């Protein structure tokens, strides 16, 4: 399936970022290809994360796209002292995130 490289475990897979839009230095959106596994209803969230130094950094994020779109959009505000948003801020199209 396009957008999914492999499953990390039974609930989490690697999703590829397809688009990024920066609104300000600390505000941005990304879109990921959800593949066929993930269906959702408006108002739900997905947990996004990264693996860094052998640890999984994860954070729940509200979905900002419609349920019928193939890609899923997420909006972020950079938390400079946070553990998860600074490394997410460094990602660009083609990079992968963990998603569940």
C-alpha–C-alpha distance, residues 15 and 61, integer Å: 14
Contact 47, 61 (CB under 8 A): yes
Q: Which of 15, 7, 2, 92 is nearest to 48 (CA)?
A: 15
CATH (one of 2.40.30.10, 2.60.120.260, 3.40.50.1100, 1.10.10.60) for 4-91: 2.40.30.10
Read off the pTM.
0.83
Q: How much of the chain is helix, strand and coil, in % rounded to 5?
A: 5, 50, 45
pLDDT above 50 for 98 = yes
Spell out the alpha helix ranges (H) of 1-100: 85-89
What would the pLDDT profile of 28-77 be if each residue is shown by its tens digit? 999 998 765 677 777 788 899 998 888 889 999 989 988 888 889 999 99
C-alpha–C-alpha distance, residues 54 and 1, integer Å: 27
């Amino acid at each position: 399936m396009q957008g999914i490289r492999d499953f990390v475990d039974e609930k989490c897979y690697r999703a590829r970022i397809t688009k990024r839009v920066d609104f300000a230095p600390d505000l941005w959106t990304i879109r990921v290809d959800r593949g066929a596994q993930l269906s959702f209803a408006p108002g739900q969230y997905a947990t996004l994360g990264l693996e860094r130094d052998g640890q999984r950094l994860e954070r729940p994020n509200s979905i900002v796209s419609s349920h019928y779109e193939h890609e899923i959009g997420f909006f972020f505000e950079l938390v400079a002292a946070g553990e998860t948003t600074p490394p997410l801020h460094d990602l660009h199209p083609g990079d992968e995130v963990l998603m569940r």
